């Protein structure tokens, strides 16, 4: 499954699907979720990581918009988690304070229910990265966050309470071992930035991921010939995924 999102769709600050005037763009994200949902229901996948080869390809934007659409428009019980320790961005994207979150739950400072925040639409809950007042002892890298004692343990406890759990995951390269994420989630969607991600980098990233967990990919900032006011989008489906 390959989705193409135009440059205009990704150039706006914030979450595009919360803007009612962006109706055509909303439909594109609905279509993206519908394709992910089709695969997920067949293969019993509910915990989906959104990642990219390298930083800056649009994975957080994709995660946020998919989370809103799946909760609001498809009435799914949705949790979205910030899983990128070195570049936590989800709280800022949703405009919520990031004082308590995943780190605090893992450290035992509070339970999940005290750390989770209601999202901007019904059925959506947010778990930002949180802070440990500068005392990140043991939290030295993304691998620890994604370990058995981190996200994996949390998902076992609260997984049944949600229909979908979207996780804004770290980029695959250059240093992170993606096999840790692959083992923690049911499926992976990889975001690729058109014209800027070197083919060799993407190839290496896909080798790191393997193919069993990859649901599909989103090609963002694609050049299209479809013009609907300020919204442009094209879609392509790859039957191999």
Question: Residue 186 to residues 26, 39, 116, 155, 227: CA-CA distances in angstroms?
Answer: 25, 11, 22, 11, 36
CA separation for the pair 170, 176 (Å, rounded): 8
| Structure-token pair, residue 104 | 């605090």
For the chain, give every domain's residue range.
2-232
Are the C-beta atoms of residues 205 and 190 closer than 8 Å to each other?
A: yes
Q: Which of 162, 196, 229, 205 is nearest to 56 (CA)?
A: 196
CATH of 2-232, one of 3.40.640.10, 3.40.630.10, 3.40.605.10, 3.40.50.300: 3.40.50.300
CA separation for the pair 133, 180 (Å, rounded): 27
pLDDT-wise least confident of 10-14, 82-86, 221-225, 227-231: 227-231
Does a cis peptide bond (omega within 30 degrees of 0) precede residue 174? yes
pTM, two decimal places: 0.81
Question: What digits encode the pLDDT tens for the residues 18-39?
Answer: 887 668 888 889 999 999 999 8
Asked if residue 235 has pLDDT above 50, the reply is no
Question: What digits encode the pLDDT tens for the residues 179-204?
Answer: 788 888 999 998 877 666 666 666 76
Are the C-beta atoms of residues 66 and 36 closer than 8 Å to each other?
A: yes
Question: What digits encode the pLDDT tens for the residues 100-124?
Answer: 999 999 988 899 999 999 999 999 9
Neighbours of 86 (CB within 10 A): 13
Beta bridge partners of 165: 47, 79
């Amino acid at each position: 499954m390959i989705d193409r999102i135009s440059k205009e769709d990704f150039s706006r600050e914030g979450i595009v699907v919360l803007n009612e005037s962006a109706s055509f763009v909303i439909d594109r994200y609905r279509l993206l979720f519908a394709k992910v949902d089709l695969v997920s229901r067949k293969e019993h996948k509910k915990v989906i990581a959104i990642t990219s080869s390298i930083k800056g390809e649009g994975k957080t934007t994709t995660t946020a918009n998919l989370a809103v659409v799946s909760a609001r428009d498809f009435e799914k019980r949705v949790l979205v988690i910030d899983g990128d320790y070195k570049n936590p961005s989800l709280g800022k994207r949703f405009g919520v304070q990031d004082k308590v979150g995943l780190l605090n739950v893992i450290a035992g400072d509070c339970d999940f229910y005290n750390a989770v925040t209601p999202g901007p639409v019904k059925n959506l809950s947010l778990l930002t990265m949180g802070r440990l007042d500068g005392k990140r002892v043991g939290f030295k890298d993304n691998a620890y966050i994604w370990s058995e004692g981190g996200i994996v343990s949390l998902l076992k406890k609260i997984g049944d309470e949600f229909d979908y759990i979207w996780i804004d995951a770290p980029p695959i390269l250059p240093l992170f071992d993606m096999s840790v994420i692959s083992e923690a989630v049911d499926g992976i969607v990889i975001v690729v930035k058109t014209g800027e991600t070197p083919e060799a980098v993407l190839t290496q990233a896909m080798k790191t991921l393997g193919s069993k967990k990859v649901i599909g990919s989103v090609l963002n900032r694609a050049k299209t010939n479809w013009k609907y006011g300020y919204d442009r989008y094209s879609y392509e489906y790859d039957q191999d995924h």
